[in-house]
Amino acid sequence: MKGSSKFFIGFAGLLTLLTGLLFLLTVVELKPTTLWLQKMIIEWPDIWQYLVIILSSLTILIGAGILLLGIFKQRKAKEISFHQTLGTVTIPIAAIEKELQHRLMSQVDLQTAQVDLKVFAKKRNANLKVFATSLDQDYEALGQQVLTIAVAYLQKSLNVTLKQPKIQVKPVLGEKNVSVV
């Protein structure tokens, strides 16, 4: 999970917990806490009114954000299925990544290749990231070859549309870094 997602979920949980606890303490009577809270509400009613408005507004905004995220975030597929009259063939994404990695290693002059493929469930769109190292000095040409092979394999063979291909070819020694986006 990304750090921003962890922060957002943690903040939402903490805010919901505090708001719920505040509302619970106004209804349920726990002697020392309820007496203290009632005294504070009576002494500073404007501050408590603004505090409740702010906490409620933040809770509503966070709830709406989580709801929109749940509705509009694309689901990632773990496998691709092909339906024919004779039956259905299902291929895991990990197998497709491995096959593309072997194709790249055998057809392009690469020392290492790491393939990260994220296929989205509904429209068969995909984000592709390839990180490779090579001894060859023409990194732009290598990046274009890798992109051509990946597009040919994914779009023509598997009918997966690439949305954001990112190819990164580095030298083995780590001197120069060239990216083909």
Rounded (to 5) percent helix, strand, coil in the chain: 55, 25, 20
In this prediction, what percent of the chain has a pLDDT beyond 90? 13
Q: Give the length of the chain.
A: 181
pLDDT for 142 equals 87
pLDDT in tens, 49-59: 888 788 788 88
pLDDT for 177 equals 58
Where is average pLDDT lowest: 10-24, 126-140, 160-174? 10-24
pLDDT in tens, 71-98: 887 778 888 888 888 888 888 989 999 9
CA dist 30 and 45 (Å) reads 20
Spell out the domain ranges in the chain. Answer: 3-72, 76-180
CA–CA distances in Å: residue 58 to residues 25, 44, 53, 54, 174: 19, 21, 9, 6, 47
Q: Say which CATH architecture domain 76-180 belongs to.
A: 2-Layer Sandwich (3.30)
Beta strands in 31-111 (DSSP E): 76-77, 79-83, 88-92
pLDDT in tens, 2-31: 677 778 778 888 888 887 777 777 767 777
CA dist 86 and 163 (Å) reads 31
pLDDT over 60 (residue 60):
yes
Per the CB < 8 A criterion, the answer to whether 16 and 59 are in contact is yes
CA dist 98 and 50 (Å) reads 57
Position 129 confidence tier, pLDDT thresholds 50, 70, 90: very high
pLDDT over 70 (residue 179):
no
pLDDT over 60 (residue 37):
yes
For strand 112-120 and strand 88-92, is the pairing parallel, antiparallel, or unpaired? Answer: unpaired
What average pLDDT score do residues 90-118 get?
Answer: 90
Number of alpha carbons in the 13 Å side-chain half-sphere of residue 160: 28
